[in-house]
Every structure is written in structure tokens, then in C-alpha cells.
Structure 1
Amino acid sequence: MNTVIETILNHRSIREYEDRPLSEEQIRLIVESAQAASTSSYIQAYSIIGVKNPETKRRLAELAGNQPYVAANGHFFIFCADLHRHDVIAEMEGADLTASLESNEKFMVAVIDAALAAQNASIAAESMGLGICYIGGLRNQLEEVGRLLQLPDRVLPLFGLSVGYPANPSDKKPRLPMEHVYHEETYPQDDAVYKQQLTAYNEQISSYYNERTHGKRKDTWTGQMAKMLSNPSRMYMKEFVQSKGFDKK
């Protein structure tokens, strides 16, 4: 095992940071690492917005569901699917790219490109001894987020990434067993085996919460998922995405 793999396997979400900003060099290296990620057909369909202004962070924290670690961190990054520059390319090259830019395929490309870049950024930050936490709560009120960040059409904020020096490192949360997520040749369809694996995982997760909270929590993973997915959220998303010029075809 090398240090890169050790960094990856040691990941945990950090939600409490020291009052200490990242240096410009750290920010530059994190962004350069993000840009080194693979990108479909070299399209580079994403942008990253860094937020330092405390008032902007505070407002983003409110929009994300009053998550304090959106406001209190060393630096806050927002990863966006971005096809706006390709509108500019269309103008520069005298080409009609509308059908392609409004396709479901290019929407997926932009989302995947942004996610790959973000994961590179996360690993780079963690390799520096920093902690990170992804913030999907920005999608609670995307119109307000877009207005705050002055985003043009074809730019869609997907999630935030809080980064900073860990003040109170959390425990590493157990993942699903490898045999439940990795399959060779074909996808197994024996749900009885799946249920056995999930039952064993539930026991592990329940024990994790029990120890971490001194007996205050003992919930299972399947119980969490059933509760969360029973209450559909952000159901405005398709309409909003299309209003920004994505996924129309």
C-alpha cells in the first residue's frame, strides 16, 4: 500500500474546522489537481467557484439548510456543471451547438466531469492533512444560489466542498461490503443474498452508531435509507435544470 491509497482509505467527512484559512498555494494546488482529472472527450464541462467572503458563506450556509461548516471552514469550493463556455465557443467558431449542448448526454458529461474533478480536489486536500465535506444541500435552493453567485445559463451548481484544518476529526464510517458493490462479468440478481449482506451491514452500522453516541443511536443503514427515500426531496430539479439550458433533448 502506498501513501495515495492510504489517504483515500482514510477518508471521513469533516464538519468542524479550525479558524484558519487555506493559503493561496493550497487553493491553487487543489484546483490544479481537480483540473488533472479525466474529462470526457476533453470537453472540460465544469467550473469551480471559490468562496472566501464570510457573508457569502453565511448566506450559502442558510441556503444549504443551516449547515455551519458551510460558513466556518478554511475555504469553500462550489463545483458546477458548465456548458456556458461552449456557448461562447459556438459564437467564436460560427457553429450551432444547441442540439448537442441541450442533450441529456452532454448534461451527463458535465455532471460527471465536475464530480471527477471534485474527487481529485478532495484527495489532494486530504493529502495535505486537510479535511473535506461534500455539501449537497446547495441543491435545496438552486435559484437563490445561482443568483448569489451570478451564474449565467448553462452553469449549474451541483454541490459544495468545504475544506479546512480538522478541529474535531470524526470516525471513519463503514462502507458497504466489497462483495455487495463489486461484481465480475455480470450483475448478480439473487436478492436473498443481497438481503443477507445488508443484514450483516446493518449490524455493523448499528454498532458504529451505538459506540459513537454512547447508546443514543442504534439505527441501521437500510432503515436510514427507507426513511430518507420515503420523503422525496428537491422535486423541482428537472424543471430547474432544463430552465438553465441543460437536458432538454
Structure 2
Amino acid sequence: MNSTIETILAHRSIRKFEEKPLTDEQIKTIVECAQAAATSSFIQAYSIIGIKDLAKKEKLAEIAGNQEYVANNGHFFIFCADLYRHALIGEELDRDVLPSIESTEKFMVALIDATLAAQNAVLAAESMGLGICYIGGIRNNLEEVKKLLGTPERVIPLFGIAIGYPAQDPGKKPRLPIEHVYHEDGYEQDKDLYLGQLEEYDKLISAYYEERTSEKRSDTWSGQMAGMLEKKSRMYMKDFVQNNKLNLK
């Protein structure tokens, strides 16, 4: 096992950081590593917005559900799906690019490109001894995020990443068994096998929570997922995306 694999396998979400900002050199390195990620057909359909302004970070923390680590960290990054520059290219070169830009396929490309770049950024940060936490809560109110960041049409803020010096050492949360995630030569559709694997995983997660909380919590993963998915959330997303001239076709 090499140091890269050790860094990947040691990942955990950090939600408390030291009051120490990242240096401009650290920020530059993280962004350069993000840019080194694979990108579909070299389209590079994403942008990254770094937030230093404390008032903006505090507003983003409020939008994200009053998560204080959105405001209190070494640096806050927001990853955006971005096809704005591609629309400008079409205008400048007088080419009919909008049908493609407004397609579901190119929207998916932008989502994938941004996510690949983000994970590269995370691995770079963690390899530097920093901690990270992905923040999907900015999607609670993207209209407010859009106003705060001044993003143009065809740009969708997807998620944030809080990065900084860890001020906690949380336990590593067990993932689904590899047999439940990795399928060979086709998707395993033995329902009894599938449910049996979930049952074993639920026992593992329940034990994890009991140990972590001195038996004050014993949730199962299945119970968490059922409870979360039963509640409708961010149902405005399709309209927001289409109002920003993406995923129209």
C-alpha cells in the first residue's frame, strides 16, 4: 500500500477546524490539482469559486442549515457546473452551440467534470494534512447563492468544500460492503442476497453509532436512508437548472 492509497482510505469528514487560513500557495496548489482531473472531451465544464470574505461565508453557512464549519475553516471552495464560457465561444465564433449546451448530456458532463475536479482537490488537500467536508447544503437555496456569488446563466453552484486544519479526529464511518457495490460482468439482482448484505451492513452501522455515542444512538443505514428519502427536499432544482438555460433538452 502506498501513501496515496493510505490517504484515500483514511478519509473522514472534518467539521471542526483550527482558526488558521490556508495560504495562497496552498489554495493555488489545490486548484491546480483540481484542474489536473480528467475532463470529458477536454470541455472543462466547471468553475471553482473560493470564498475568503467572512460575511459571505457566514451567509453560506446560514443557507446550508447553520453549519458553522462552512464559515469557520481554512478556506471555502464552491464547485460549479459551468457552460457559460462555452456559450460565449459560440457567440464569438458564430457557431450554433446552444442546442448542445442546453442538452441533458452536456449538463451531465458538467456535473461529472466538476465532481472529478472536486475529488482531485480533496485528495490534494488531505495529502497536505488538511481536513475536508463536502457541503451539499448550499443547494438549500441556490437563488440566494447565485445572488451572493454573482454567477451568470449556465452556471450552477453544485456543492461547497470546507478545507482547513483539523481540530477533531472523528472515527472512520464504515462503508457498504464491497460485494454490495462492486458487480462483475453485470448487475447482481439476487434480491435475497442483496437484502442480506444490507442487513449485515445495518448491524455494522448500528454498532458503530452505539460505540461512538456510548449507546445513545443505534440507527441503521437502511433506516436513515428511508427516513431521508421519505422527506422531499430541494424539489425546486429542475426549475432552477432550466431557468439557468441548462438541461432543457
| TM more than 0.5 | yes
User: What interval of TM-score do these two structures reach, taking the shorter chain for normalisation?
Assistant: over 0.9
Match of 1:18 in 2: 18
Kindly provide the CA deviation profile for residues 60-85 of structure 1, in whole angstroms up to 9, marking residues without a partner as x: 00011111110000000000000000
Q: 2:65 matched to which residue of 1? A: 65
Equivalent-residue separation in structure 1 for 2:106 and 2:128 (angstroms): 33
- Counting only pairs closer than 5 Å after superposition, residues 1-249 of structure 1 correspond to structure 2 as 1-249=1-249
Q: Which amino acid letter does the alignment assign opposite residue 55 of structure 1?
A: A
SS of structure 1 residue aligned to 2:91: helix
Q: Deviation per CA, 1:129-169, whole angstroms, max 9, x where unpaired? A: 00000000000000000000000000000000000000012
* 1:15 CA displacement: 0.3
Q: AA paired with 1:138?
A: I
Shift of 1:88: 1.1
How far apart, in 1, do the equivalents of 2:208 and 2:67 lie? 23
Specify every segment of 5 or more residues in structure 1 that has no aligned partner in the other structure, as ranges.
Answer: none
The SS at the match of 1:166 is coil
What is the rounded CA distance, in whole Å, between the counterparts of 2:56 and 2:241 in structure 1?
Answer: 23
3-state SS, counterpart of residue 157 of structure 2: strand
Q: Distance in 1 between matches of 2:145 and 2:81?
A: 14
State the secondary structure of the residue aligned to 2:158. strand
Q: Which amino acid aligns with 1:181?
A: V
**Mind listing any 5+ residue stretches in structure 2 that lack a counterpart?**
none
- Counterpart secondary structure, 1:37: coil
Q: Which deviations, in whole Å up to 9, do the C-alpha atoms of 1:202-234 show, x marking residues without a partner?
A: 010001000101111000000000000000110
Identity %: 65
Structure 2 letter corresponding to 1:219: D
In 2, distance between residues paired with 1:105 and 1:42? 15
Q: How far apart, in 2, do the equivalents of 1:157 and 1:171 lie?
A: 30
Count of aligned positions: 249
Whole-angstrom CA distance in 2 between matches of 1:197 and 1:165:
36
Distance, in Å, in 1 between the alignment partners of 2:163 and 2:177 is 28
SS at structure 2 position matched to 1:15: coil
